[in-house]
Amino acid sequence: MQQIAKGLLNWASVLEDATREQAVQTATMPFVRPHVALMPDAHLGMGSTVGSVIPTIRTVMPASVGVDIGCGMAAVRTQLGIDDVQGNPRGLAALRTAIEAAVPVSKGGYTTKVAPTAEPKVAELEAAAEKAGFDPASYAGNWRLQLGTLGSGNHFIELCVDEDGRVWVFLHSGSRGVGNRIAQHHVKVAQQLCEKWWITLPHRDLAYLVEGTDEFWRYIRELRWAQRFALLNRAEMLDRIVGCLAEWAGTNIQRTDDVQCHHNYTEQEEHGGKTVWLTRKGAIDASAGRRGLIPGSMGTRSYVVTGLGNPASFNSAPHGAGRNFSRRAARDRFTVEQLAEAMQGIEWRAENADAFLDEIPAAYKDIDQVMEDAKDLVTIDHTLRQILNVKGD
């Protein structure tokens, strides 16, 4: 860790100049105290740097939280071993196809009806929305059908194997379209209010809401709902994937080491004796003893970790490998043949390789370097390598 500017501590050994400048810009906001913590996977983001931890006093910047509120990870370890998988005559392609049939993927991919496994989760969210005083249907009329869906981009479902040959289900997703629309609405509200109050901002995506106003508390209520939606969305997908795995393997699945973590969210926390609104934008809670998940990219390793509770990082850790090339730059730089080579030994939708080219592992930072940079933030419990990958195009 090093202090690279006033109010900015950095854990990233690989840091682009533009990313550094964006993080400095956020750190100069007058309500950001005492500093911004830049994680090892830091890269350019909307308003604020992805891979940053931002404590704010009596304010929240909606764009810094991001448009995929509550995006994060979920994983469960099963009793199956690698021999159970390799010895299954049905093959991994059949399992991948079953998962893709059970979990809608890609942008705009929704269920046709609320599944029985999703009914109690939907009921919980309906009650939570009523308590929060808003109707999610005002943002997305089909929000109930979005529960249990993956999305696209860097969201994924994987079957992984750890260092002892044990099989894990591992996935990454967020609050889908309803969360995106909630976020976009409140980003716009914050920008309009700052314009109304004649507040000069270094960037319009640093617009903020002030605690005590109706706009602030409406955002917080809807933000918390979207964070819960994201967690239950991942839980619903896990239920469906485990069901697919059980049918494919011909046995009931025992679920252990159940780990869930957000990495795009805001919570009110105590740090340094002060109450702050802590935004983790591409970062996980790594409080002492807390379990977390840090994925690499498709074709590289991922990690199950335990937090060390580093106070300088506000008890935080990186959320993944972090992009090294933008999606457009990755498409210009790499080929589908290089992607296919990187995915050797992994069951994936190879016939759609061009759709996934911007997700090639080489477009991301070296996950091993990220984990080395994070050695004072987390300890590694398990190292996972994927054997099956599902993504939306």
The sign of the torsion formed by the CA atoms of 128, 134, 135, 139 equals: negative
Q: Is 319 a catalytic residue?
A: yes
Please say whether the beta carbons of 249 and 94 come within 8 A. Answer: no
Q: How far apart are CA 366 and CA 113, in angstroms?
A: 41
User: Which residues partner with 172 through β-bridges?
Assistant: 73, 156
Secondary structure, 3-state, the chain: CEEEECCEEECCCCCCHHHHHHHHHHHCCCCECCCEEEEEEEECCCCCCEEEEEEECCEECHHHHCCCCCCEEEEEEEEEEHHHHHCCCCHHHHHHHHHHHHCCCCCCCCCCCCCCCCHHHHHHHHHHHHHHCCCHHHCCCCHHHHCCCCCCCCCEEEEEECCCCEEEEEEEECCHHHHHHHHHHHHHHHHHHHHHCCCCCCCHHHCCEECCCHHHHHHHHHHHHHHHHHHHHHHHHHHHHHHHHHHHHCCCCCCEEEEEEECEEEEEEEECCEEEEEEEECEEECCCCCEEEECCCCCCCEEEEEECCCHHHCCEEECCCCECCCHHHHHHHCCHHHHHHHCCCCECCHHHHHHHHHHCHHHECCHHHHHHHCCCCEEEEEEEEEEEEEECC
Residue in 35, 172, 262, 319 annotated catalytic: 319
Which of these, 249, 229, 304, lies nearest to 74 by C-alpha position? 304
Active site amino acids: 319
